[in-house]
Structure 1
Amino acid sequence: MEETLMDAAEPNNNTASDSGSDSESDDEAQTALELQTVASELSSNPANYDAHVQYITALRKQGDLDKLRLAREAMNELFPLTPAMWQQWANDEISLISSSRYEDAVPAIEKLYERGVSDYLSVSLWCDYLNFIQKYDSSVREFSPTAILKARDLFEHALSACGLHVSEGSKLWEAYRSFEEAVLNSMDETDLESREKQIQRIRNIFHRHLSIPHGDMVSTLLTYKAWESEHGNTLVVKSSSTDGISPHVASAYQKALDMLSVRADFEEKIVRSDVPDTERLQSFMAYLKFEQSSGDPARVKTLYEQTITEFPISGDLWIDYTNYLNKTLKADKTLRGTFNRATRNCPWVGELWVRFMLYLERCRGSEKELSDVFERSLQCTFSTIDEYVDIFLTRVDGLRRRILFAKELDDGLEFSLIRNTFQRACDYLSPQLKNTSSLLQVYSYWARMESNIGKDIAAVRGVWESLLKNCGSMLEAWQGYISMETEMGHINEARSLYKRCYSKRFSGTGSEDICNSWIRFEREFGTLEDFDHALQKVSPRLQELQFFRLQQESKNIVSSTDHKEDSAKKSKGEKRKPSSDAPNEESPAKRQKVKAQNKGSLKPNKVENTVTPRDPTSHGEGDMKTKDPTPEKFKQYTDQCTAFVSNLNLKANSEDLRGFFSDVGGVGAIRILMDKFTKKSRGLAYVDFCDDTHLEAAVAKNKQMLLGKKLSIARSDPKGKRKGPAAAGHKTSTTERQGEKVELKGRNTFAVPRALGWSKQTSSSSAGAEDEKPKSNEELRKLLLNKT
């Protein structure tokens, strides 16, 4: 690649053949077309990592250095560059250094190397950086005192970053010794004192290198003994024993050998290239766990950096790393760079942005820094809407604390900044979180801030009214508004809210709950007149709701009875039906007899002028309507191996439930109970499983969260084998066929109105009382029509 860039500045070869010229022209045309295509892709999608790489590659082929610099800078604005990319960039710049601008180019290339080594841990990039300084920095090359100090600082920086790297760190130690040897050789032979100090410096580097575990420990020991022998110390150079070496050095060396021995297996696994990346990552994580148990933060940090270099886009790895650094380094300012790298590598992980903002607040970062991180986070795409909620709330939390408890920072923060942040959050989240607890959390938090910090009751009510505009059918929104008015002592305002919402329709038992809540409110806060007025309003509403539910229960029982009769007839008919290969055919006389019997037992499958009860949840308005009475098909479920799920998010669908139970497995049919009139979820569901083992595992997930709601999961008990209210709640009415009589059994029969003509007496009661006998299905229909 370097040759390509250099070739761009060379004159054309006049002796090249025509075919070669044609080939080069074709290559140039292809490169130009590729550049145009990739540039178009980048203009429409600047976040396309692969397109950036392709664009830089094409520009290198073309040899356009100015555009190449701009392309690399544009990519680095969005993404960290790999060590190989930084090496390539630096080498391209070095190859273009001319003698006329030699000194001017060195600082710029040094900055490139500095940027490169700050992205990822790379021993080879550090070696390139150190070699460049020694070769192209004239002051270092001439060993001026200032330049020597500069080079030593750079070597120490490299050792702190990579010196503990077990397999490659020795390269840096050897480069450091080589530099100090060169310094020694440049000294005046007569300056014995300075030379002795330099010799001791090199000896200390050897001692430090021998005290850490690395892959070339024996070779390093032999090199050290040979060096000591050269400087007048008598040692057995070719022996790997520590005889003749100072005791403290020998002890440190032996300890390092022992450390290397217990790490050898880990090192062997992480350097393997013939295994999948997932397996290698697991090997790194096991190694990290071991190093953390040894309690050396420097070694742990180096290994984390080594792992990050191999797996830079693992969000869980970055979370684990930043969590470790927070525990060990607390609010150390060096963590700012680590969090910045984490969010650049994995910008789609909301938790990393949250941790970044909390870190900046913890280390007393400026409002500008916090604001910049917050705004950058909002430009990212997260996998769940809850991550956006967490980021907005973290930002508001920080602003609240800085206004109330960190006035010494003197940021000049005003409450309007919190208000604007809440408004942005609600505008962004409301379309996706309508009628959810997460949106309620944001609005209620905002209202509390308006009350506690803003001291503006009108603004508080404005927040709640805005929530009701979006989530007026959500019971919890009204309850939260009423609760806040009550806590602030605004009894009349709370009462007016009850008057606005008691007749509204809420899911489940919400309509009854708000009515009963109003009565309790007037007991505690109202006068007798207020209590009487609430009763006058609420009582008819409660009666209407109760009547509607009884009608629904009776209708379900009738549908169940019809289904039982039809199933019994079908089963009986199938038993009597001869097999298809029966040799005998029915006689005409027998067919006539059967036809006459069937005619006498026919029942109408359609009821004329069926009256449907009015829905009391429709704000108390509307008359009874006549609709087509044709019954819908009723499917019966045995629920023998079924979980009953309640408190389900009203927006949850079958796929959400199937995903929730995916770790359990064995999921069969999923039935979400729907409201008959609105066709919306009632927050209840039945989930079938293939066997009891999977069902028990599903029930064990009771109280876990799904879409912001804590689910209640129990085993469905259709036959009442288990006692208790939960079991009773799952019972369904059953019928027994006895001749022409139908007897209803099960606990749901308590909901059947007496006016329909069913008697609570058992079949053993006094015979002869005609209206005390169980009614047939036909009589049941007639009674229901007359009574309703």
Structure 2
Amino acid sequence: TKDPWWDPGRGCVMNGKNSAESNMRSYLALSHISFLLHLCVTPQLSINAFDYNCHVDLIKLLKQEGELFRLRKARQKMSELFPLTEGPDIWLEYAQYSIGGMGSPGGIDRVRSIFERAVTAVGLHMTKGQMVWEAYREFENAILSTTQLERIHTLFRRQLAIPLMDMEGTYAEYEEWSEHGVPETVMHQYKKALQQMEKCKPFEEALMVAETPKLAEYQAYIDFELKEGDPARIQITFERALSENCLVPDMWAKYTIYLDRQLKFKDLVLSTHERAVRNCPWTMGLWKSYLLALERHGADHQTVSDVFEKALNAGFIQATDYVEIWQAYLDYLRRRVDFKSSKELEELRAAFSRSLDYMKHDVEERFGESGDPSCIIMQIWARIEALHCKNMQKARELWDSIMTKGNAKYANMWLEYYNLERSYGDSIHCRKALHRAVQCTSDYPEHVCDVLLSFERVEGSLEDWDFAVQKTETRLNRINEQRAKAAEKEANLARQEDERAEQRRKAKVEKKAQKKVQKGTRAGEKRKAEQDDYQDEWNEDAGEIDCLWTSPQGNEDNPELRNDNSSVFVSNLAYTLEEPEAKLRTLFETCGPIKQIRPIFTGKGSFRGYGYVQFESPVSVPEALKLDRRDVEGRPVFVSPCVDKNKNPDFKVFKYNTMMEKHKIFISGLPFSCTKEQLAEICKNHGTVKEVRLVTYRSGKPKGLAYVEFADETQASQAVLKLDGIEVEGNKISVAISNPPRRNATDKPGSSRPTGDAMPRQVYGARGKGRTQLSMLPRSLHRQSAPAGKVENGSAADGEPASAAGNAAGEPKQLSNSDFAKMLLNM
């Protein structure tokens, strides 16, 4: 605090205060850290034990306070959750450390055992493996005796049979050391390894010049080794890649798939799966593969259950991940059930019940959605009860519950239930299910009606047939009436919108006509100017590009351009563009043979900024559309299909995406000088960049915003983690998963936008209002601190203790006496 009685170095200073007040204030100050731990860090770790940043904060606070016992426990707990990746340097340090104990009983054998483990783990490392081999030989030389000479020979022979950098130096050293020269067999193995080293050398050189994390270079190296087919070299290459990319789930997935399908060594496979989920606990696919591997290698039931429980606490980023991990575990339980015994069956049923409760409470509360809208888990349970347990009553109860969760309107759900009854039930319940389907289905009622009639043709009596025909006709008539009313309502709305648009158009035309009359413009020129100005303003107001079929002579149709399939409309060109026809020909000549180019000019001969390009073949149009927003003299050019809006009034050029694009990131705060090439260079280290789009004004000036599309959502997530908060040319950028705002009716051209917060702007993703839409940060990636007074996902609530807000911001805030008193009263 700022009070004069408190000194950070000496603690409490009396300074005229009475003893009781000083002791109280001293106690409050000393318990500040404990209070922060109790209020902020500990609850967060209880919710998500894999929150890397919370572990770091806890260790910092304990270290600051000198809590050595609790600090040791915190570090041990963190090391259990976030492992270190093995590497040549660590093995070398370990081996050299063990040499210090070689004088103790059995010490030499223990050191030799460690060296053997080291060369097995990293001896094939192309660039650093040689250091381990040399240290091993130096150890054997240190204890050299007559009986040890053969050991050193063996080490040389083993090393020379492995492709390593600077093999020639090792060979020369062996020639000098060996009294009888190099044996023929050793020379043959050395030459073979040297040839292999030459093949690998380009990949090693690429790794040397590449910047961390070198993901693309390692991927190319792994693909090469997979083609070569040497298991030991494939394994060491994967390990090297993961030592620098331990937070890349795709790399772990590829490695574990290789081990599962090719090597199949139990200890190696299971240990690698365990490392994968410890490094990337937020990735559901790795946990799912781990469960399958445990079952495949005969792990005991308790071990599989424990791994599943850890997976539930891993903090997945979307609700559907929990559905998939539950499905994997339930599949495992079903495969171990002997349906003649009740013990495993009851455990399976209990697991199904628990999964439904988990989806209803934990998942829905966390994500605001169930993650299983089609009730897949309940469907599986119903099929198991019907097929294996012959318990159709339980299966029907489950399907009744499925239908009450909003699925009764879908035809496919009713047909699934009908197929279940058809396979394991009876005709009475089949008929009942189809009658209910006819009554409730709203998406494909005709199909359900056809199924009911087909069923009655095969199994029904005449009365059943008559009743089915009457019911289906009544239902379809009602559906057709509803569709007709909906179509009429939609047509009325469209007509009203057209009338309003026509009124606005007439008002603009009349206003412009009055201005022209006041200036004394001739009648013919006035009509031409009115039409030209109207077309410009429509293009600006509508926010889309319409093909209006104007010609230099006026508004007469141009027969040569009425072939919509072979023409494109080009707009947003600069009005000062010189020789627009030549510019357009240069731009589009790579798309195919051009039949005609017609830029549009005003009556006075000035360029209007748009025109038409007609190709000789429609196959050129898709190639031309790819040039949309291509920069021409500093402005993005709009290229759109040539469509007559009079014949296609509902045609829209721009489609507004309102769904979260998990494979694409949104970047803000970029410097205006940043180019697409510079941004692609920044992003390429985090995945395969498919497209970079800088957001600009119509004039071509940048807005400081951009969208970057990656090959998949995993790469996009990694890019968010690595790029959010970095500086680009002095600007601190913000990076998040692309999540466009909702497009409301009022967002359409010509409509008025409501003020205030009448319409919600953001459609939230898996993390609710999270800015980046990611559920957690993996280890060693520390996001930049939020502004003071804010927590990670929003502002600190009014009345919240100032210390809590300060801790969330990453910088403890100095507090007054009243703040401490308020915190104690609220505890």
Shorter-chain TM-score bucket reads 0.5 to 0.7
Q: Distance in 2 between matches of 1:521 and 1:484?
A: 14
Instruction: For residues 198-251 of structure 1, give each alpha carbon's deviation from its aligned partner in whole angstroms, at most 9, with x where no partner exists.
Output: 1111111112122222234333234333433xxx55xxxxxxxxxx42222223
> What are the within-5 Å matches in structure 2 for residues 405-424 of structure 1?
414-424=344-354
The structure 1 residue matched to 2:382, chosen from 423, 447, 460, is 447
Give yes or no for the alignment of 1:357 onto 2:291.
yes
Q: Retained in 1: the 8 A contact 2:277–2:287? A: yes
Question: For residues 59 and 485 of structure 1, do their structure 2 counterparts lie closer, same or farther at Cα, with a shift above 3 Å needed?
Answer: closer
Q: Which runs of 5+ in 2 are unaligned?
A: 1-6, 12-25, 522-645, 666-689, 696-827
Question: For residues 402 and 539 of structure 1, do their structure 2 counterparts lie closer, same or farther at Cα, with a shift above 3 Å needed?
Answer: same
Q: Distance in 1 between matches of 2:328 and 2:34?
A: 43
CA displacement at 1:453 relative to structure 2 = 1.9
Give yes or no for the alignment of 1:168 onto 2:128.
yes
What amino acid is the match of 2:475? R
Q: Hey, what does 1:428 align to over in structure 2?
A: 358
The structure 2 residue matched to 1:492, chosen from 428, 447, 462, is 428
CA displacement at 1:322 relative to structure 2 = 0.5
The structure 2 residue matched to 1:204, chosen from 136, 151, 154, is 154
Instruction: For residues 45-77 of structure 1, give each alpha carbon's deviation from its aligned partner in whole angstroms, at most 9, with x where no partner exists.
Output: 224323434544666677765334312222123
Q: Greater shift after overlay, 148-157 or 281-290?
A: 148-157
Q: Hey, what does 1:257 align to over in structure 2?
A: 194
Question: For residues 247 and 546 of structure 1, do their structure 2 counterparts lie closer, same or farther at Cα, with a shift above 3 Å needed?
Answer: same
Q: Retained in 2: the 8 A contact 1:434–1:471? A: no
> What are the within-5 Å matches in structure 2 for residues 326-475 of structure 1?
326-330=260-264, 332-403=266-337, 414-429=344-359, 431=364, 439-475=374-410
Q: Which has the higher helix share?
A: 1
What amino acid is the match of 1:377? A
Q: Retained in 1: the 8 A contact 2:123–2:132? A: yes
Give yes or no for the alignment of 1:547 onto 2:550.
no
Q: Hey, what does 1:534 align to over in structure 2?
A: 468
CA displacement at 1:523 relative to structure 2 = 2.4
Aligned-residue identity in percent:
30
The structure 2 residue matched to 1:141, chosen from 75, 78, 103, is 103
The residue matched to 1:458 in structure 2 has which SS? helix
CA displacement at 1:355 relative to structure 2 = 0.8
The residue matched to 1:167 in structure 2 has which SS? coil
Q: Distance in 2 between matches of 1:352 and 1:660?
A: 19
Q: Distance in 2 between matches of 1:426 and 1:533?
A: 38
The residue matched to 2:658 in structure 1 has which SS? helix
Q: Distance in 2 between matches of 1:666 and 1:52?
A: 38
CA displacement at 1:346 relative to structure 2 = 0.6
What amino acid is the match of 2:115? F
Q: Distance in 1 between matches of 2:650 and 2:358?
A: 42
Question: For residues 122 and 63 of structure 1, do their structure 2 counterparts lie closer, same or farther at Cα, with a shift above 3 Å needed?
Answer: farther
Q: Hey, what does 1:121 align to over in structure 2?
A: 86
What amino acid is the match of 1:153? S
Q: Distance in 2 between matches of 1:331 and 1:474?
A: 50
Q: Retained in 1: the 8 A contact 2:284–2:321? A: yes
> What are the within-5 Å matches in structure 2 for residues 93-112 of structure 1?
none
Q: Which runs of 5+ in 1 are unaligned?
A: 1-21, 83-119, 186-194, 234-243, 587-634, 645-652, 669-788
Q: Retained in 1: the 8 A contact 2:222–2:238? A: yes
What amino acid is the match of 2:518? P
Instruction: For residues 474-511 of structure 1, give each alpha carbon's deviation from its aligned partner in whole angstroms, at most 9, with x where no partner exists.
Output: 3233332233223334222233334445333x44343x
Q: Greater shift after overlay, 173-182 or 32-41?
A: 32-41
Instruction: For residues 292-320 of structure 1, give each alpha carbon's deviation from its aligned partner in whole angstroms, at most 9, with x where no partner exists.
Output: 22221111111211211111111111001
What amino acid is the match of 1:494? C
Q: Hey, what does 1:155 align to over in structure 2?
A: 115
What amino acid is the match of 2:174? Y
Q: Hey, what does 1:180 align to over in structure 2?
A: 140
Q: Retained in 2: the 8 A contact 1:177–1:202? A: yes
Q: Retained in 1: the 8 A contact 2:319–2:371? A: no
Larger relative contact order (C-alpha < 8 A, sep ≥ 6)? 2
Q: Distance in 1 between matches of 2:692 and 2:197?
A: 44
Q: Hey, what does 1:246 align to over in structure 2?
A: 183
> What are the within-5 Å matches in structure 2 for residues 283-298 of structure 1?
283-298=217-232
Instruction: For residues 317-361 of structure 1, give each alpha carbon's deviation from its aligned partner in whole angstroms, at most 9, with x where no partner exists.
Output: 100111111122125332111101101111111111111111111
Q: Retained in 2: the 8 A contact 1:39–1:55? A: no
Q: Hey, what does 2:601 align to over in structure 1?
A: none
> What are the within-5 Å matches in structure 2 for residues 588-607 of structure 1?
none
What amino acid is the match of 1:201? R
The residue matched to 2:326 in structure 1 has which SS? helix
Q: Retained in 2: the 8 A contact 1:214–1:260? A: yes
Q: Hey, what does 1:716 align to over in structure 2?
A: none
CA displacement at 1:538 relative to structure 2 = 3.5
Q: Distance in 2 between matches of 1:257 and 1:49?
A: 44
What amino acid is the match of 2:98? I
CA displacement at 1:414 relative to structure 2 = 1.4
Question: For residues 122 and 24 of structure 1, do their structure 2 counterparts lie closer, same or farther at Cα, with a shift above 3 Å needed?
Answer: farther
Question: For residues 468 and 212 of structure 1, do their structure 2 counterparts lie closer, same or farther at Cα, with a shift above 3 Å needed?
Answer: same
Question: For residues 258 and 514 of structure 1, do their structure 2 counterparts lie closer, same or farther at Cα, with a shift above 3 Å needed?
Answer: closer
Q: Retained in 2: the 8 A contact 1:435–1:470? A: no
CA displacement at 1:403 relative to structure 2 = 2.2
CA displacement at 1:380 relative to structure 2 = 1.9
What amino acid is the match of 1:488? Y
Question: For residues 223 and 525 of structure 1, do their structure 2 counterparts lie closer, same or farther at Cα, with a shift above 3 Å needed?
Answer: same
Question: For residues 312 and 449 of structure 1, do their structure 2 counterparts lie closer, same or farther at Cα, with a shift above 3 Å needed?
Answer: same
Q: Retained in 1: the 8 A contact 2:206–2:217? A: yes
Q: Distance in 1 between matches of 2:186 and 2:192?
A: 10
Give yes or no for the alignment of 1:215 onto 2:152.
no
> What are the within-5 Å matches in structure 2 for residues 537-576 of structure 1?
537-554=471-488, 556=490
Q: Retained in 2: the 8 A contact 1:482–1:497? A: yes
TM-score (norm 2): 0.55
Q: Retained in 2: the 8 A contact 1:167–1:214? A: yes
- Over the residues paired in the alignment, what is the CA RMSD in angstroms? 4.0
What amino acid is the match of 2:202? D
The residue matched to 2:396 in structure 1 has which SS? helix
Q: Distance in 2 between matches of 1:518 and 1:79?
A: 58
Question: For residues 572 and 162 of structure 1, do their structure 2 counterparts lie closer, same or farther at Cα, with a shift above 3 Å needed?
Answer: closer
Q: Retained in 1: the 8 A contact 2:336–2:344? A: no
Q: Retained in 1: the 8 A contact 2:319–2:369? A: no
Q: Distance in 1 between matches of 2:185 and 2:116?
A: 23
Q: Distance in 2 between matches of 1:378 and 1:665?
A: 36
Q: Distance in 1 between matches of 2:663 and 2:153?
A: 63
Q: Retained in 2: the 8 A contact 1:167–1:215? A: yes
Q: Retained in 2: the 8 A contact 1:31–1:58? A: no
Q: Distance in 2 between matches of 1:660 and 1:305?
A: 27
The residue matched to 1:414 in structure 2 has which SS? helix
CA displacement at 1:579 relative to structure 2 = 4.1
Q: Hey, what does 1:656 align to over in structure 2?
A: 659
Give yes or no for the alignment of 1:638 onto 2:667.
no
Larger Rg: 1
Q: Distance in 1 between matches of 2:694 and 2:480?
A: 36
Question: For residues 161 and 458 of structure 1, do their structure 2 counterparts lie closer, same or farther at Cα, with a shift above 3 Å needed?
Answer: same
Q: Distance in 2 between matches of 1:154 and 1:302?
A: 18
